[in-house]
Each structure stands twice: as structure tokens, then as C-alpha cells.
Amino acid sequence: MKINGNTIRPGMVIEHKERLWVAVKVQHTQPGKGGAYQQVELKDIRDGTKLNERFRASESVERVRLDQKRYQFLFAEGGNYTFMDNETYEQIVISRDMIGAERAQFLTDDMTVTIESYEDSPIRVELPDTVVMAVVDAEPVIKGQTAASSHKPAILENGARTMVPPHIEVGTRVVVNTADGSYVERAKD
């Protein structure tokens, strides 16, 4: 589907220079001289390379619609992860590189993820925004430390490191952001 260059928004997937790109950042610029344009930071879906491009309203680009399907995470073996389609029970194997090593560590048994594909080829794996993990190692609370700005390092059950508030102890279940591994809040369970 053709769209004008000035209608590109973050998260959109476009075909440009015979490759698939996702728009990461978009900035509308209207210089004093000449016409307005969109400054767009693009990231290649397959290999992660970045590209900055200017698109004018008169230019058109091909917007790509990705097929989205929900899968259940089954197991990891080596650098590959196996997922199952809940409707057809077909299994699909995806490499750690496609998921990203930082995000792959937050996969838990039976987690439901969304796999986006283009022309029946998997492109991207979307994890839930947050997961609940138990803290397995954390420094003890130091009396007199204020909770306002201080955080302490902690290790989660999956081996990931994150910074948590001082009141979080070993065994506490916390909500963690899967995009960057940051602490969100104490789990409410």
C-alpha cells in the first residue's frame, strides 16, 4: 500500500531500497527555505542496520503489512527457540539473533508471544511488555538508606541483572520490562 512520505509514524514497516525497515524515530522538519520533510530513522528488520532518510510529502513509499500470529513458547535448545501455534499446533524454530539475546532471556515456559511474518517468513518476535520474575540474589537492606533515589543491583531467576529499590529482598517477585530489563514494580501476587 503506497503512502505519502510525511505520513510515516514510529513502528510502521516500509519497503525502501528493496529492504524492509521499521521506523524508529520520526521528526517533522520545516526549514525556512524549501519544503517540509520527515526525518526518519529506519532500522532494518532482518539485520538491524540503521539508516536516516528524508521523505517529502510528494514522495511515496510502500507500507508493508506484517502477518501477526500468536504462538506459545515451548523450549530453548542451543541458540534456537521453539514456538507452537495454538490453533494448528505447528511448531516454528526461531534463532536467538531474531529475538535478541537481551530479550530472549525473559522467555518463560508457556509464554504467549506474537510472531510477525512477511510472505510466510518470520521477521520479528514481540514479547509481552512485562514479565514477573523472582529475585534470587540482592544486597541486604542498609539501614538509613533513602528509597527516593537509591537502587541496588539484583539478580533475577533467569540470571538477568537489574536495579531494584532497597526494600526488595531475595524471594520477592517483581515486574520487569522486557524491552530493557528495568524494574517496574513489585508483583501483586
For residue 56, what pLDDT is reported? 87
CA–CA separation, 49 and 60 (whole Å): 22
Helical (H) or strand (E) element with 122: strand 121-126
| 130-186 maps to CATH 3.20.20.150 | no
For residue 143, what pLDDT is reported? 66
pLDDT in tens, 61-103: 999 888 889 999 999 998 899 999 989 999 999 988 888 888 8
CATH class of 2-63: mainly beta
For the chain, give the number of residues. 189
Q: What is the pTM of this model?
A: 0.73
- CATH: 3.40.190.80, 1.10.240.10, 3.40.640.10, 2.40.50.140. Which one for 67-126? 2.40.50.140
Q: Are 57 and 36 in contact (CB under 8 A)?
A: yes
2-63 shares its CATH topology with 130-186: no
Domains in the chain: boundaries? 2-63, 67-126, 130-186
- The answer to whether residue 185 scores a pLDDT higher than 60 is yes
pLDDT in tens, 109-167: 889 999 988 888 888 888 899 999 999 998 876 666 554 567 889 999 988 899 998 88
Helix (H, G, I), strand (E, B) or coil at 11: coil
Q: What is the DSSP string of 87-147?
A: TT--EEEEEHHHH-HHHHTT--TT-EEEEEEETTEEEEEE--SEEEEEEEEEPPPPTT--T
